[in-house]
Structure 1
Amino acid sequence: MGHKHSSLDEILAEDMHHWYNKFMKESPSGLITLFELKCILGLQGMNKDASSYVDQIFYTFDMDGDGYIDFVEYIAAVSLLLKGEINQKLKWYFKLFDQDGNGKIDKDELETIFTAIQDITRKYDIVPEDIVSLIFEKIDVSGEGELTLQEFIEGAKGHPEIMKMLKKMMDLTPVLVIIVEGRRNMIKSK
């Protein structure tokens, strides 16, 4: 496909038939395993944190928990990330950040995810420690060192600078471009 996409809207604007053909080309069985997702994105040989992040994304997208991402889950996840309402996106972010599944996110979980995102996207313009400190300084008003879903959503929505940083950190354009253009091994081993 040689053209470049300048925005997420353009990526999603491609017709559903085209998305389906791309999905089926990469996974003729109609199901993507975790290993296949890493292959599609050219993410073999990542560090432990980046690998854990991809695992977490996979299990978040695998909405029925069957160990596969099917086309409906794939399109639902992409649509949510690109077109979802802010509450939906924040709920998805929270689920992704809550690595241990205890219903709360702490500084270590956030820092691990943000560092892993940077390792995958190769965009290092925001220091993970800085955004984590800002989030907890502004949102964790009780000072517990953990955020519940409600605290996270209300706090993020109440602080435009946090929303701006979250949107920037969670921008999956590079990942979607890899999928759309069918490129493999974009991220090379060091």
Structure 2
Amino acid sequence: MGKANSKLSREELKELHHRTRFEKSELQQWYKGFIKDFPNGTLDRNEFRKIYKQFFPFGDSSEFADYVFQVFDVNSNGQIDFKEFIVALSTSCRGETEDKLNWTFRLYDINQDGFITYEEMLCIVEALYKMVGTMVTLPPDEDTPEKRVKKLFDAMDTNRDGKVSLEEFKEGSRNEDSILEALNLYSGLV
């Protein structure tokens, strides 16, 4: 994807403008910065971890960064190219709630089978708790990952089949203020 170029091609620009919520001039600026920071045109897992560490210096963000990396790396090649990066950034910062819920579901659905199990949700929430460290004081009914997941999973698994479908996840998330707040955490940042 134009690894040696400091500008996107006309075709790439048109495609990304269509797929994201960025203006063409913004896309060119983001691309220029991406290539400056990652001259080979891709971002690997270790570089991604370093970025997360900058934002969460008081906890261990590596495990959570790995889960997010999996969602960014759409083609599962172990690298995030500019297209994957900017589409994910657009969703997280400028996407509609529906887009963000779909993206977040993919994060929690670790094995990508179309459902979130209790164990998958626990993995993500444990990684989140490690990442924020002592930065956040939680209420007693959510002060451990297990308590938080039990509360969320019980609320979301409405048909009690031991797994949460995309529709159950969306409905449950819409009824949980903390999830909606988290979805909008990056809105308007870029």
What do the CA deviations read for 1:56-91 (whole angstroms, capped 9, x no partner)? Answer: 211211122332111121111011012212222111
Shift in Å at residue 169 of structure 1? 4.5
- TM-score normalized by the length of structure 1: 0.67
Query: What is the aligned length?
Result: 157
| 1:38 match | 49
Q: Which has the higher contact order (CA 8 A, sep 6+)?
A: 1
Report whether the alignment pairs 1:102 with 2:116.
no
What do the CA deviations read for 1:117-147 (whole angstroms, capped 9, x no partner)? Answer: 2322444334334442332232212222211
- The DSSP-based 3-state class of the residue aligned with 1:147 is strand
Residue number among 51, 76, 90 corresponding to 1:65 in the alignment: 76
Distance 1:95 1:75, change over 3 A: same
List gaps (5 residues or longer) in structure 1. 1-11, 181-190
- The DSSP-based 3-state class of the residue aligned with 1:99 is coil
Alignment of 1:135-150 (within 5 A): 135-150=152-167
Letter in 2 for 1:146: K
**Whose radius of gyration is greater, 1 or 2?**
2
Deviates more, 1:72-81 or 1:146-155: 146-155
Shift in Å at residue 52 of structure 1? 3.6
Distance 1:125 1:109, change over 3 A: farther
Shift in Å at residue 171 of structure 1? 6.4
| 2:8 match | none
| 2:5 match | none
Give the root-mean-square deviation of aligned CA atoms.
3.0
Alignment of 1:88-167 (within 5 A): 88-122=99-133, 123-126=135-138, 127=142, 128-157=145-174, 159=175, 162=176, 164-167=177-180
State whether residues 56 and 96 of structure 1, in contact with CA within 8 Å, keep that contact through their aligned partners in structure 2. Answer: yes
Report whether the alignment pairs 1:25 with 2:42.
no
Percent identical:
30
State whether residues 34 and 68 of structure 1, in contact with CA within 8 Å, keep that contact through their aligned partners in structure 2. Answer: yes
- The DSSP-based 3-state class of the residue aligned with 1:69 is strand
Distance 1:172 1:21, change over 3 A: farther
Letter in 1 for 2:74: M
**CA distance in 2: counterparts of 1:172 and 1:54, whole angstroms:** 17
State whether residues 140 and 147 of structure 1, in contact with CA within 8 Å, keep that contact through their aligned partners in structure 2. Answer: yes
**CA distance in 1: counterparts of 2:49 and 2:106, whole angstroms:** 20
List gaps (5 residues or longer) in structure 2. 1-21
